[in-house]
A and B are shown apart, each in its own frame.
Chain A
Amino acid sequence: MFKLDKLSVCLGFTALVAITAQSSFAQSGSAKFPGIGRVATPAEVAAWDIDVRPDFKGLPKGSGSVEQGQVIWEAKCASCHGTFGESNEIFTPIAGGTTKDDVKTGRVASLKDMKQPQRTTLMKVPTVSTLWDYIYRAMPWNAPRSLTPDDTYALVAFILSLGEIVPDDYVLSNTNIAEVKMPNRNGMTTKHGFWNVSGKPDVNGNACMHNCVPFVQIGSTLPDFARNAHDNIAEQNRMYGPYRGADTTKPPIKELPGLSGAGLAHAADTHSASSKGPAALFKNENCSACHSPNAKLVGPSIADIAKKYEGQSGALDKLMVKVKAGGSGVWGAIPMPPQAQLSDEDRKTLVSWVLSGGK
C-alpha cells in the first residue's frame, strides 16, 4: 500500500514535470497558477537586463578613450559635477581624495585620517563595474539611459583618469576593464550584523532602571541662530490640543502660556495658505529640478535669466517658444528639454514669473 502510494505520487510528479516542461513554450507556463504571466522573450530580457556585476557578468562589448570621455563629460556631466568631477554644488564630488599610493594598497588613506571634508565617489566605490552600471543606467541625471556602451566606457575612462588610476591616453574596453585597480577595492566589509536578520549587533544598550547615570550632561543643542532654520515650527503643528508648535520667528516665550493659551503669539493659521501660483507651478512641473532661484544648477538660475532678458522687448514671446520646443546653446551645452505638456496659460505664467526674477 505504502509503495503504491509512493508510486502514484511519483507518477503524479512526473506528469507535473512533463506539463511544466511542455508549457514552458506556451504563453502561460504555470502549473500552479494557470493563465498568469507569460514567458519573457530573449529580446525582452536583453532590453531590461542591463546590470553589470563586479565579475563583469552582463557587461556589453565596447570601448572608449579618456579623450572621448572628456568631450562627453564637458557636454553632459560637467554642469552638475564640475569640469574635473570636483564639484560639490549639486551632488557630492566624483573625484579627489585618492592618491597613487591608495591605488597600490587598495585602501583610501583619507577615509581614516579625516583630512577630506567630503567623501568622493572614487574614495568610496570598490568596484569599477559599479561606476559603469551607474552611468549607463542612470546618467546624465536629467536624461538617463541616453548613453551608448561606448560613451559609458569613455566616461568611466575619463573619471578613472581624474583619479590617476589610468593614464591620460587610456582606452577602456570590455577586455581590459578587469585590470583596473580601484583605490578603495579593499575598503569594503560585510563583516557586520546588519546583513542578516540573524546577524549579531555590534552595539547594545543597557536596561538600568534607577540611578543609572551620575549626572546628566547635555552635549549638544541646536544653536540659537538656527531657531527658525526650518521655518516657523508653529505652522508645522496642530493649532489645538496639548502640544503646539513653538513660534520660532520669535525668541522663546518667558513663561508658560497657561491653559488659555494666552501669550502664544503664533496663532496665525496656515490652513488657507495657498500652495498655488507660479512658484508652486514651477516646482510641480519639475522646472525646479534644473533651475534654482539664485544658483546655477543643471540650467541657469531664475535670477540669471531675469537679468539676461531684463528690459528686452519680445523676451516673453521668445522664451514661451523656447520652453515649448526646448533649446540649447544659450547657457551652455546642456539642452533644455521641450515642455510640450504645459498649457499655454501655464507656460505664460511660468515665463512671466521667471522674467520677473521669481517675484
Chain B
Amino acid sequence: MEKPVNRARLVKAPEHFISQELIADINSNGLDEKRRGFLRNGFMSAISGAAVGLVAPYTMAAGEGDPAILEKQEWQTTLGKNVATMPYGVPSIYESNLIRRESPGLTRVSAASVAFTPLQGLFGTITPNGLHFERHHQGWYNINPETHRLMVNGLVKNPRVFTMNDLMRLPSISRTHFIECGANTGLEWGNVAVPTVQYTHGMLSCCEFTGVPLRVLLEECGADLKKGKFMLAEGGDGSGMTRTINLESCLNDAIVAWSMNGEMLRPENGFPLRLVVPGVQGVSWVKWLRRLEVGDAPWNSKDEAVHYIELMPNGDHRQYASIQECKSVITTPSGGQQLLDKGFYNVSGMAWSGRGKITRVDVSFDGGNNWRTARLETPVLTKSITRFNIDWVWDGSPAILQSRAMDDTGYIQPSIKTLRNVRGTRSIYHNNAIQSWKLDSNGEVSNVQVG
C-alpha cells in the first residue's frame, strides 16, 4: 500500500541528509552512478521520515515567518477541480479519521451490531447523515422504494396500504429530535469499559426528520384511539423488528418519516421509511417501517420482552423502559484526546432529555466539587440535542471534567453512584449518569468514574 502523505502538515524540506563525506567526495570526484545511488537513497529515507510526521508541523522556520504564509501554496498557484467533480459531495480527505466505528469484541457478527457516531469531532447539534449511528438486528438492505409498502391494520375502520408515492403526497412536518439507543453508555454500568466518547455515548444522533405525523395516518385509517391504546410498529428487515408503541405518550409527536436532514433517509437508518418516536429509546424508531397495527394490549415482542429489559437488584426485569432521561456529556475534550498546551480552551458538549427541553447545564473541572453554568447555544428544542459551551483556562494541573444537565420537568442528571444505588449494576440500559473525563498534566484525557 502507498504510504500516506500528510498534506495537512507543513513538512520541512529534506535537508542535511547527505553526509559531509559524500559532499566532499562529489566535490572532488564529480557525480557517477554510484554516487547518484547514494543521493537517491538518502533522499528517500528523508521523505519517509517526513511522511510519518516526525517533523513537527507547526515549528516556524527560523527567519522571517511562517512558510504557510511566506510561501506560495499549490492551491493558490494552480487550477482547482471542476464543479460537480463530486456529484454527491463527501467530506474533506482530512476528515477521514471521523467515521462510524464498531467497538472491537462487542458482538461476534457485524449484521447484529452497532457502529458508533464519532461525537468527539462533531459540532453544533445536527449529526451528519453519514455519521448517524447504526444498530441492526439482522443486517440492512437497500430497499427499493417502488416496492416498499406501509400497511395500517388492527383496530382501524379500514386497513389500508400506502406506497411511498402516497405517503410523500401527504402534508409533512419537519422536526429536529435526538435518537439514543437504550443501551447507550450501557457498557459502563459496572465500571469504565471503553476509552472515548464515541464508544461511551456514540449511540446518539440528532437530525431534522421530515414525514407525516403518525396521528394523521392513524386518523386517516379510522383508528379507534379509545380502545387502541397501543400500536405495534413492524420493520421490513429480516428481524421483522417489532415494537409496542405506547400511543398515549407519543401520538402527538411521532412521525412516519422518510427524510433525514433534507435528504432521504440513509439505508442504514431505515430508507425509505422509519418511525420517529421523540424521547423514546431508539429501538422503537422502527426502521424500514412496513406495518402499524393498532391494538388494545402490548405485544411482548422479542425486543421488549427478551432484549431491551433492565435487570433490577431485586431480580425484577423492567419491561417497556422507553423514555430516555435527561443526560449530557462533554465531547471536547473527551476520553482518548490529547491537549497540546496550557491556556485557553472552549469546552463543549451535548445535552438532551426525552421528556422535554434542556434548561441548564453545569460544568465542573474538579470532579464535581464546584460547578459553573455553561452557555446553552440556540436552538434549544424539545427532545433534541442542545449544545453547550464554557470558557476554560487550563493551568496545566490535573483536572476532572464533568457536565450535569437539567430539563424543564426539573429533573437533574444523577451521578453514577446515585444511579447505581437504585438500579444496581446489571441494567445495561438507560445509563444517564454524569460522565467524568480525567485530564493529566501531560495533556492526555481518559475515561474515569468518580465515586
For chain B residues 172-198, which have a beta carbon within 8 Å of chain A?
191-196, 198
Closest to B370 in A: A210
A-binding segment of B28-36, B268-276, B435-443: B435-443
Chain B hits for A126, CB < 8 A = 300, 305, 317, 319
Closest to A138 in B: B239
Given contacts A197-B354, A218-B450, A283-B110, contact A246 B336 (CB under 8 A): yes
Chain B hits for A271, CB < 8 A = 4, 93-97
The answer, yes or no, to whether A329 is at the interface (CB within 8 Å) is no
Binary contact readout B292-311 vs A (1 if CB under 8 angstroms, 0 otherwise): 01010111111001100101
A-binding segment of B13-21, B124-132, B203-211, B340-348: B340-348
Binary contact readout A188-231 vs B (1 if CB under 8 angstroms, 0 otherwise): 11101111111101111111111111001111111000110111
Chain A hits for B320, CB < 8 A = 190, 194-195
> Contact: A216 with B323, CB < 8 Å?
no
> Contact: A264 with B338, CB < 8 Å?
yes
Task: For B160, give its contact among A39, A134, A189, A295 (CB under 8 Å).
Answer: A39
The answer, yes or no, to whether A262 is at the interface (CB within 8 Å) is yes
Interface centre among A134, A235, A254 (most CB of B within 10 A): A134
The answer, yes or no, to whether A333 is at the interface (CB within 8 Å) is no
Chain B hits for A339, CB < 8 A = none
Given contacts A188-B309, A192-B318, A205-B434, contact A29 B336 (CB under 8 A): no
Binary contact readout A157-196 vs B (1 if CB under 8 angstroms, 0 otherwise): 0000000000000000000000000001001111011111
> Contact: B367 with A213, CB < 8 Å?
yes
> Contact: A145 with B240, CB < 8 Å?
yes
> Contact: B300 with A129, CB < 8 Å?
yes
> Contact: A260 with B311, CB < 8 Å?
no
A222 to B446 Cα, complex, angstroms: 8
Given contacts A144-B238, A269-B4, contact A256 B369 (CB under 8 A): no
A49 to B54 Cα, complex, angstroms: 63
Query: Number of A residues contacting the other chain (C-beta, 8 Å)?
Result: 128
The answer, yes or no, to whether A343 is at the interface (CB within 8 Å) is no
Task: For B371, give its contact among A184, A208, A243, A295 (CB under 8 Å).
Answer: A208
The answer, yes or no, to whether A311 is at the interface (CB within 8 Å) is no
> Contact: B302 with A133, CB < 8 Å?
yes
Min C-beta distance of B57 to chain A, whole Å: 6
> Contact: B240 with A144, CB < 8 Å?
yes
Binary contact readout B396-435 vs A (1 if CB under 8 angstroms, 0 otherwise): 1000100010100001111101110111001000100010
The answer, yes or no, to whether B70 is at the interface (CB within 8 Å) is no
> Contact: B242 with A51, CB < 8 Å?
yes
> Contact: A30 with B355, CB < 8 Å?
no
Chain B hits for A201, CB < 8 A = 325, 411
Min C-beta distance of A54 to chain B, whole Å: 5
Closest to B236 in A: A48
Task: For A259, give its contact among B159, B322, B323, B341 (CB under 8 Å).
Answer: B341
> Contact: B299 with A258, CB < 8 Å?
no
The answer, yes or no, to whether B25 is at the interface (CB within 8 Å) is no
The answer, yes or no, to whether A63 is at the interface (CB within 8 Å) is no
> Contact: A238 with B95, CB < 8 Å?
yes
Interface centre among A37, A217, A239 (most CB of B within 10 A): A37
The answer, yes or no, to whether A356 is at the interface (CB within 8 Å) is no
> Contact: A217 with B422, CB < 8 Å?
no
Chain A hits for B105, CB < 8 A = 229
Task: For A230, give its contact among B111, B194, B240 (CB under 8 Å).
Answer: B194
Given contacts A137-B242, A206-B412, contact A269 B8 (CB under 8 A): yes
Chain A hits for B313, CB < 8 A = 112
B-binding segment of A67-75, A284-292, A317-325, A345-353: A284-292
Task: For B97, give its contact among A35, A236, A257 (CB under 8 Å).
Answer: A236
Chain A hits for B89, CB < 8 A = none
Chain A hits for B442, CB < 8 A = 252-256
Task: For A205, give its contact among B6, B340, B418 (CB under 8 Å).
Answer: B418
A202 to B159 Cα, complex, angstroms: 40
A176 to B205 Cα, complex, angstroms: 46
The answer, yes or no, to whether A99 is at the interface (CB within 8 Å) is no
The answer, yes or no, to whether A2 is at the interface (CB within 8 Å) is no
> Contact: B162 with A124, CB < 8 Å?
no
> Contact: A187 with B315, CB < 8 Å?
yes
> Contact: A138 with B138, CB < 8 Å?
yes
The answer, yes or no, to whether A274 is at the interface (CB within 8 Å) is yes
Pairs across A and B, CB under 8 Å, 5 listed: A38-B160, A124-B317, A212-B371, A256-B441, A270-B97
**Which 3 pairs show the lowest CB-CB distances between chains A and B?**
A267-B53, A216-B367, A112-B315
Please give the residue numbers on chain B whose beta carbons come within 8 Å of chain A beta carbons, in ascending order.
Answer: 1-2, 4-6, 8-9, 52-54, 56-59, 93-98, 101, 103-105, 108-112, 118, 120-121, 137-139, 151-154, 157-163, 166, 169-170, 191-196, 198-199, 219-220, 222, 232, 234, 238-240, 242, 246, 248-250, 279, 290-291, 293, 295, 297-302, 305-306, 309, 311, 313-323, 325, 332-334, 336-342, 345-346, 354-355, 362, 366-371, 396, 400, 404, 406, 411-415, 417-419, 421-423, 426, 430, 434, 436, 438, 440-451
